[in-house]
Amino acid sequence: MSGTLCIDGIAVPFSDGQTIIEAARTAGVYIPYLCHRPGYAPYGSCKLCTVKVNGRTNTACTLPAADGQTVISNSPDLQHDRQRITQMLFVEGNHFCPSCEKSGNCQLQAVAYHQNMLDNHYPHFYAQRELDASHPDILIDHDRCIFCNLCVRASKEKDGKEVFGIAGRGIHKRLIVNSPTGKLKDSDISVDDEAAHVCPTGAILVKRSAYLAPIGERIYDHHPISEVACERAVLEAGAATGYPSCDQTKLPQNGGPDSHYAATMPPAPDIKHGR
Amino acid sequence: MVYGVAHDFSIAMGHDDSTKLPSNSKMNTFIESVLVQADYKPERLLQMLRAVQAQYLHIPQMAIEQLAAALHIPRTQIIAVAEFYSFLHLTPQGRYDIHISDSITDRMLGKEKLLNYLAEKLKVKVGQVRADGLVSLNNTSCTGMCDQGPAGLVNGYALTRLDHSRIDVIVQLIEQQAPLSDWPAEFFAVDEPIRKPGLLLNQPFNSGAALAATFARGLAETLAEVDSSNLRGRGGAGFKTALKWRTCSVQAATPHYVICNADEGEPGTFKDRMLLDLYADQIFEGMTLCAAIIGSDQGLLYLRAEYLFLYEQLQRVLQRRRESGLLGRNILGRDGFDFDIEIRMGAGAYICGEASAQIESLEGKPGIPRVKPPNSVICGYQRKPTVVDNVETFFAATHIAIQGGQWFAEVGTPQSTGSKLLSISGDCARPGIYEYPFGTPIEDILRDCGADDVMGVQVGGPSGTFISSRELQRRIAFEDLSTAGSFIVFNSSRNIFDIVQNFTDFFAHESCGFCTPCRVGTTLLKNQLQKIVEGNGAAVDLEELSELCLIVKNNSHCGLGDSAANPILSTLASHPELYLNQLKQSSFTPGFDLDATLAVARRMAQRDDDAAHLSQVEN
């Protein structure tokens, strides 16, 4: 089935099997996410991509696109909740951007900037989590794990291994490693595995690569995540710039995509599609 | 099958020395026998881990390795399961593993004092294993004995009506290392006080009658009767049963499965316990006629771990039905209608009452609710079309098959036909099971159960609604107060915050942790509520609490997160003044007490004059 849905007043075409978030991305419309990754099985746990679909709350990364859907993504209410959910992730773990090797390349950080997150809002949990530096090439800093499950899926679906799992219940969730000792060095992960590179935060890092790109020359130092997430999709789809609009009466009150970001951040350098 | 058994009831507690230092070959042999019993099926992982836990008091590393290799599953799955369920452990528990039910009704019956008394007598801290390994003591979520609490579990078996004198005896028995079979039987006695039978509980029943009626009338015709009865799911959600069955029956994918959800975990609910205890035959018959209608040859009963005491007798009922030709091949002589039922035990997780989480659990995984769509009726157990219904729903279906839809639909309200079983507990003279036609007002129910001086009623358990004494005209019905059957009465001596905190803590404890808003949000709710209740909240904290409630409610993955804030939201609406009275009148609350922190410096300087004190807030 293919057709068109309407996201915040923008007409978004979709093809067979696409979820709302993928249809949106392909059309250059950004809906924030952390546990999603193009080409991966939908998971739906971070809840950042929560949208209203025909008036009902749903996650854009799991719901199949359907013809005629009316999707609201950037309403003040949804943007507010998205910021709060991001803040929850920040207080749950230990995320110290200034001292993190991933800073500037980190999706969590970039999503927080996108949402104009200026503080943690909630009391910090001061979680006590251990570091696994046992592997010669790969490091796990559990402080930064957000339980997005991407490494679990990458290892299973892409690498044909099952190196990672998520154990525990509720606030006691933890990332675990499939090895007799529980240490990464005794698992069958390889530095070439997709699982070693898929982490959206700095929880799984390839050693000796942290500062190959200096701070200031990293992906999100120059382009907001809203552009980075969509650019590749737009290129692939060969879409033109500019958004075809659908019914203007369905626009959210404070504007279209990224209006919140645009209103609160200095203008990002113009990204030229097809560069 | 030993799966129903936590620690074997009949075997003396002085296990063989395997509990201390398991010898490799001995453990290998034991695990092998567990694997054989489970037919090497990874979906029976929970059952296997229950058996290992019972034998070794935890899931040893060696067992994980052996099970992972034999079942061809990653060890991470086994660890994830062991950590997810409350009654499985990666470190050894006591040979007597005691859990005390922490439901609000247990607390109202003096549970906290009893727990402390027990801890003191046993010389063990709550949440710990005694150094000699003899005993471990823990809190646990409601064990479904609210009508006969304070309650608990010892090695998985239900203890009821705990009091100081019983605890004295229990402590003695433990210190003497007496096997559970030598404990007084009355300690384990579970009464089923049916105070008010109605439409269903009063119906006579002969085994096979509903199946015979179904076959005589025809399958499609019987489904039409279920349809015209307008029976809706009794687990609380109220989905129309006939629609679920019809949808499943037309799915092309095979096989189809029937699951009976007996994971009655909502605090304050115990009506399924009574049905399973006294009416099991009728429940199994309901499952069987469902199987005939949807075309299924395999049924599963998911029994909550707390109802272990029912396991053996349920197996006996199944065996009797097999011997009577009501289960097995060619049921009632009907050529080609084969169906059997397997009982699988849970291991302590409220979330597994949610249908898709239960299916995950039945597949040997942590009970994490699935992403919908697809619904489990299309893609359920083993990714096949599956009907999951509540115990009471199957019970009602059995009688609808005999009496017809009209008989059922004449009772209740147009949207909520038939009757509802209520588990009534708390501040009333006659706690127990009551059956009412839908549409019955709360005040009638309170009169029947002998409740006066009512401050409020929690209808539907923590995930339901708090009804204040000003709202007692409201009715039990899907269109008004929907409930799976929990009905807890509070009199005016009760502190609302005790109730709300107990419920809020419960959700934080039971959150599966899959999605951010529930995983983090339920703990934030717990902490924020505590801050206000303890008198450390300012006006802004109350605003923050309200906002947080809505974030958790509006963004969570499943019904648990959706309802986790209900206790706070409904009492904020009914008793705002209580919350306002808790607030500090200052506009600023420091994060720490500067003056108290200076106490050490004052002591060292040996001064205590005014100038040695600093205040952060102007008085």
- Cβ–Cβ below 8 Å for B513 and A123: no
The amino acid at B440: T
Question: pLDDT exceeding 70 applies to what percent of chain B?
Answer: 95
> Quick check: bond before B150 cis, omega within 30?
yes
Q: Cβ separation of A88 and B524 shorter than 8 Å?
A: yes
Omega before B184 within 30 of 0, i.e. cis: no
Task: Give the pLDDT of residue B615.
Answer: 78
Q: What is the pLDDT averaged over residues B225-243?
A: 95
- The model's confidence at residue B14, banded by pLDDT at 50, 70 and 90, is very low
- Interface check B77 vs A, CB under 8 A: yes
CB-based contact A45 B524, cutoff 8 Å: no
Look up the CATH architecture of domain B497-582: Up-down Bundle (1.20)
Residue A195 banded pLDDT, cuts 50, 70, 90: very high
3-state secondary structure of A95: coil
The answer to whether A170 contacts B74, with C-beta atoms less than 8 Å apart, is: no
Is residue A271 scored above 70 in pLDDT? no
CB pairs under 8 A between A and B: 110
Q: Would you state the pLDDT for residue B19?
A: 47
Nearest CA in chain A to B64: A180
Whole-complex ipTM: 0.91
The average pLDDT across A154-162 equals 97
Provide the residue ranges of all domains of chain B, joining segments of one domain with +.
3-84, 96-191, 195-409, 419-494, 497-582, 593-619
- Predicted confidence band at B393 (pLDDT cuts at 50, 70, 90)? very high
A84–B349: do the CB atoms touch at under 8 Å?
Answer: no
Inform me whether the pLDDT recorded for A242 exceeds 70. Answer: no
- For residue B4, the model assigns a pLDDT of 47
Tens of pLDDT, residue by residue over B36-80, are 999 999 999 999 999 999 999 999 999 999 999 999 999 999 999
Q: Do B519 and A162 touch (CB under 8 A)?
A: no
Q: Does B364 touch chain A (CB under 8 A)?
A: no
The pLDDT tens digits of the residues spanning A6-28 come to: 999 999 999 999 999 999 999 99
- The verdict on a CB contact (< 8 Å) between B513 and A167 is no
Token digits of residue B267: 């605090």
Q: B96-191 maps to which CATH number?
A: 3.40.30.10
State the smallest CA–CA distance between residue A245 and chain B in angstroms: 28
pLDDT of residue A210: 87
Question: What band does A267 get if pLDDT is binned at 50, 70 and 90?
Answer: very low
**Mean pLDDT value across residues B586-596:** 74
Collapsing DSSP to helix, strand or coil, A91 comes out as helix
pLDDT, average across residues B126-132: 97
* Inter-chain residue contact A81 with B551, CB threshold 8 Å: yes
B526 vs B505: CA distance, rounded Å = 6
Percent of chain A past pLDDT 90, that is, above it, reads: 81
Whole-number average pLDDT of chain A: 88
User: Minimal Cα–Cα distance from A46 to chain B, Å?
Assistant: 5
Judged on CB neighbours under 10 Å (0-12, 13-18, 19+), B11 is: middle
- Give just the sign of the alpha carbon dihedral B109, B110, B112, B114: negative
pLDDT of residue B201: 98
pLDDT(A80) > 50: yes
Q: Which among B510, B511, B557 has the least Cβ separation from residue A44?
A: B557
Residues of chain B contacting A85 with CB distance shorter than 8 Å: 516-517, 551, 555
| Per-residue pLDDT at A249 exceeds 70 | no
For B:29-68, CB contacts with A below 8 A are 65
Residue among B436, B442, B439 nearest B422 (CA): B436
**E runs forming strands in A40-87:** 50-53, 56-59, 70-72
Nearest CA in chain B to A34: B516
Walk me through the domains of chain A, giving residue ranges and CATH numbers: 3-74+224-264 (3.10.20.30), 89-206 (3.30.70.20)
Chain B residues closer than 8 Å to A122 by CB: 520, 524
Which candidate in B85, B370, B506, B515 is best for mutational testing of the A interface (most A CBs within 10 A)? Answer: B515
What integer pLDDT is reported at residue A273 of this predicted model?
A: 37
Give how far Cα B261 sits from Cα of A107, B442, B449, Å. 40, 27, 28
Q: Do B76 and A162 touch (CB under 8 A)?
A: yes
How buried is B505 (Cβ within 10 angstroms: 0-12 exposed, 13-18 middle, 19+ buried)? buried
For testing contact with chain B, the best of A48, A63, A84, A155 (most B CBs within 10 A): A84
CATH 1.20.1250.20 is held by the domain B419-494: no
- The pLDDT, as a whole number, for residue B8 is 44
Q: Could you tell me if B331 lies within 8 Å of chain A, comparing CB atoms? A: no
Segment holding A83, helix H or strand E: helix A76-92
User: Least CA distance to B513: which residue of chain A?
Assistant: A170
Strands B432-437 and B194-196: parallel
The superfamily in CATH containing domain B195-409 is NADH-ubiquinone oxidoreductase 51kDa subunit (3.40.50.11540)
Distance (Å, rounded) from C-alpha A211 to C-alpha A173?
30
Among the residue ranges A239-248, B241-250, B278-287, B517-526, the one predicted with the least confidence is A239-248
Q: What integer best gives the mean pLDDT of chain B?
A: 94
Contacts of B65 in chain A (CB under 8 A): 180
Give every strand in the sheet of B152-154, ordered side by side.
B128-129, B135-140, B96-101, B152-154, B157-159
- B523 in contact with A, Cβ within 8 Å: yes
Give B248's pLDDT tier (boundaries 50, 70, 90).
very high
Residue B458 has pLDDT above 70, yes or no: yes
pLDDT tens sequence across B489-545:
999 999 999 999 999 999 999 999 999 999 999 999 999 999 999 999 989 999 999
Confidence check: pLDDT of B2 > 80: no
**How does pLDDT run across B283-324, given as a tens digit for each residue?**
999 999 999 999 999 999 999 999 999 999 999 999 999 999
Distance, in Å, from the CA atom of A63 to the CA atom of A21, rounded to the nearest integer, reads: 8
Q: What is the DSSP letter of B466?
A: E
Confidence band, pLDDT 50/70/90 cuts, at residue A272: very low
